[in-house]
Amino acid sequence: MMRHFLWKDMIIIVRDRSEMLVLLLMPFILIGILGFALGGILGGDTSTIDIEVALVNEDDREAGVTAFVDLVENFELPVEAKEELISVAKTLNPGLLLEEMLSDQELSEMIHTEEMTEDEAQTSLQSGDIDAILTLPEGFTYKSLEKMVFSEGSGSQLSVMLSDQGSLYAKIFSDMIDGFARNLNLETAIIAAAGEDTAQLGESELTGSNIGGIITVSKNAPANSMQYYTIGMAVMFVLYVAGTIASKAFVEKQQQVFNRIILSGMHPSAYLTGKVISATALAFLQLVILFLLSALIFRTFSLGSADFWIGMMIITLVLAFCVGGLASLLTSLSIRYETEGVSSIFTGGIVTLFAFAGGSFFPLTGMPNLIIQLGNWTPNGAAMTAYLRLVQGYEWTDLMSPLFRSVIITFVLLVISIIIFPKRRSVTS
Amino acid sequence: MLETEELSKQFKGKIAVEGVNLHLERGESVGLLGPNGAGKSTTISMISSLIKPTSGDVLLDGKNVIKDPGKIRRVLGVVPQEIALYEELTAYENLKFFGRIYGLRGKALEKNIEEVFELVGLTDRQKDIVKTYSGGMKRRINIAAALLHEPEVLIMDEPTVGIDPQSRSHILEMVRELNLKKGMTVLYTSHYMEEVERLCDRVYIMDHGRIISSGTKDELKSILSSEETIMIDLDRPYPDLYNDLKQHDGILQTMETETGLKLIVPKGSRLLGELFQIADRHQAKVVNVHVQTPTLEDVFLHLTGRKLRD
Ligand SMILES: Nc1ncnc2c1ncn2[C@@H]1O[C@H](COP(=O)(O)OP(=O)(O)OP(=O)(O)O)[C@@H](O)[C@H]1O
Ligand SMILES: [Mg+2]
């Protein structure tokens, strides 16, 4: 029985050219575009990132610390407290911390700093030899410490000036410094030499957390951008299968084909089961096609490792069932309330939100925790985590928690959809 | 074999069908006639168990089928008012799918598909995608899909709406044949009087959710045995004349037609002379006058004071 439903749903979708476009062509093109364009930024091959930064140091660190110590001495405080403050000031010395950060082993592979005078730096920036100028202004150490330790004074501004070429790198750098400054409660002024555009690009699209992302996952071999976006786009576009199945179900209901099916004596729940199976099968096929195409054409995954592909298939199967559950819920809603709105709201908005929260567009490290948590509980987000861990060579046990989340999501979706779906044999009350 | 008892349906308090009693004997061809919104489709949906009645029963061979609709679903072939087909599939694929969900398989399925294609006269177009069909062809496949499982009772909800005369003629012919040659019981819903006159032995007339009259065609027409119809053709509409006649005590019903006026008057009333005088008074030019025995259309007009189609 179910086989006939599957056969029918498959033909209908395969014949629909716009559906095929959305389900296969679009994700494939996006994988190509995002994978190539953002290659190296996200990716594990950090060697391709090469940010040249001029460091203009107008600050006298020693003098700053000395002045701060003088300031502390003048307070009426117990001697122990004074000593404590002074030692904190010496270890928390912001200039020192910044220096340490920039010479960190991971970062120094990507960022090269060179001390220059203001004038030299400007000239180099104009000529495009460097991507950014980082300026430590006069009194930086003293003012920063004053602000950090006593929350007094106006603090000091670290300023970053960006070049207009290579703005993506420059932006990464400025975001990084911004993050650093925020950690220390400093104020920063990011001046974009290229004008407002550059600054805005960074505001909205790439945050310093991207870099953070690499650092945190780099314990294992990080996924490269092609792998990242193959997975990201695949888990995003597989959601459209659920929307498609639901919108076709709505058409069936509206055009009374649904009634005809019910009139054949079939129980409504069998109809819903048919939709789950069709969605699961379609989702599985779509994912397998996308992964294989990406492996063959973009050389994303090596075809040699059987273990890896068995893992891929298992995760894919779990995700496909989750999409089946999602299709079931959307179908139930569409039929119960007889509206096309359900599937169009889903495909028109919710998919994008899910994709964002699930990390399909960029890694979420550094995002508010709430978004990360929500993303973990989306069908695509849970699967994405599992895929990425597999690609990075995590242990199987590390894949269990996202897969388990997937199973729970599937279960919850199915239960809700069964509750919503009209239970009576005669369908309209 | 199939009957309804005081079948009623309200949609959110609004009455759609009220106290409908129908019965169909095996092998009968019965018409259900009524204007738009009369409640025909709602009645059919209740009979075929797609809608739960607010009150009343549906009986198949004396057994209540509302609680256990599975029984009646296999016996019935329902042709819905809307075209219920997959537009993206070919006609053949549609029938194959619907045949399969009725449990047909293999040779039996192929044989039935072939038969119904022949019946609806679309054998040579069966591999075409339904989307590419004309309205009339879709209607025919819509009927074919209801015949696949060889139902005992065929219920058709306005199966000829909006199609060309040839397709229509073909469908009527086919239904008549199924009824006469295969002994299939038919419930035919329509607001086309002439279709029902041609197809059905017995007729129910429905209006505002109620059965307002029923019987064989002759029985119904005999309602008007004491009346006759006068058709007056005029050169153009005369609204004042129409209003005048509407007020006339000797005329039972007055309505405008495409060519002039139609009056229902008591049989033997000598009105013609007076009618000419009234026409004269309005300086109306009478082109043609014609006295006829009543049709079902007239019966409907008599019963409701309205035309069947407006
Ligand atoms: N699902 C529904 N919800 C609310 N009202 C409905 C519903 N279905 C039908 N009705 C109302 O019930 C009445 C009867 O409708 P029905 O479709 O049975 O008429 P019909 O005789 O089939 O008319 P037509 O010739 O136009 O098909 C109408 O007033 C209609 O508006
Ligand atoms: Mg109707």
CB contact (8 A) between residue B73 and residue A15 = no
Mark yes or no for CB contact A11/B50 under 8 Å: no
Ligand 1 centroid to Cα of residue B199, in Å, is: 24
Q: Which residues lie closer than 8 Å to A15 by C-beta, 6 or more apart? A: B88, B129
In one-letter notation, the amino acid at residue A138 is E
Mutate to test the pocket of ligand 1, among B18, B20, B40, B42 (most ligand atoms within 8 A of CB): B42
Ligand 1 centre from B16 Cα, in Å?
A: 6
In a shared domain, residues B207 and B239:
no
Question: Which amino acid residue places its CA nearest to atom 12 of ligand 1?
Answer: B16
Domain-terminating residue out of B220, B238, B260: B220
Residue B279: inside a domain: yes
CATH number of A51-216: 3.40.1710
Percent above pLDDT 90 for chain A: 29
Q: Which of A122-136, A374-388, B205-219 has the lowest average pLDDT?
A: A122-136
Looking at the fold, whether B187 and B118 belong to one and the same domain comes out as: yes
Q: What is the predicted pLDDT for the residue at A182? A: 63
B282 and B160: one domain? Answer: no
For residue B309, name the pLDDT band (cuts at 50, 70, 90): low
pLDDT tens for residues A323-369?
999 999 999 999 999 889 999 999 989 999 999 999 888 887 777 88
- Are B19 and B53 part of one and the same domain? yes
Per-residue pLDDT, averaged over A287-302, amounts to 90
- For residues B272 and B212, membership in a common domain is answered with no
Q: What pLDDT does A191 receive?
A: 37
The per-residue pLDDT for A43 is: 45
As a whole number of angstroms, the distance between CA B142 and CA B174 comes to 13
Residue B304 lies inside a defined structural domain of this protein: no
* B112 and B21 in a common domain: yes
Long-range contacts (CB closer than 8 Å, 24 or more residues apart) made by B92-97 = B92/B117, B92/B126, B92/B127, B93/A8, B93/A11, B94/B130, B94/B141, B94/B145, B95/B126, B95/B141, B95/B144, B95/B145, B95/B148, B97/A4, B97/A7, B97/A8
Q: Is B153 helix (H, G, I), strand (E, B) or coil?
A: strand
- Indicate whether B287 and B264 sit together in one domain: yes
Structural domain including B250 reads: 226-293
Q: In the numeric block, which tokens belong to residue A172?
A: 């990464």
Residue B199, CA distances (Å) to A192, A231, B30, B193 in order? 84, 63, 8, 10
In this prediction, residue B191 has a pLDDT band, given cuts at 50, 70 and 90, of confident
Partners of residue B85 in chain A, C-beta under 8 Å:
255, 257
For A135-158, what is each residue's pLDDT tens digit?
A: 888 888 888 777 777 767 767 777
Residues lining ligand 1, CB < 6 A?
B 11, 16, 34, 36-42, 81, 191
Same domain, B20 and B97: yes
Does one domain contain both B17 and B147? yes
CB contact under 8 A, B69 and A16: no
Judge whether residue B118 has pLDDT over 50.
yes
Count how many domains chain B has. Answer: 2
Residue B76's CATH number: 3.40.50.300
- On whether both B101 and B76 belong to a single domain, the answer is yes
Please answer yes or no on whether B89 and A259 come within 8 Å at the CB atom.
Answer: no
Report, in angstroms and rounded to the nearest whole number, the Rg of chain A calculated over CA atoms. 28
Residues B164 and B285 in one domain: no
Same domain, B172 and B267: no
CATH number of the domain encompassing residue B274? 3.30.70.920
In the predicted structure, residue B290 carries a pLDDT above the cut 80: yes
Minimal Cα distance from A251: which residue of B?
B86
Examine the pLDDT at A187 and tell me if it is beyond 60. Answer: no
What pLDDT, in 10s, does the model give residues A382-428?
999 999 989 888 888 888 999 999 999 999 999 999 999 886 544 44
Out of A189-203, A320-334, B35-49, give the one with best mean pLDDT: A320-334
Residue nearest to atom 16 of ligand 1 (CA): B39
Residue B52 to residue B61: CA distance in whole angstroms: 19
Show me where the domains of chain A are located: 2-40+224-428, 51-216
Residue B299 domain flag = no
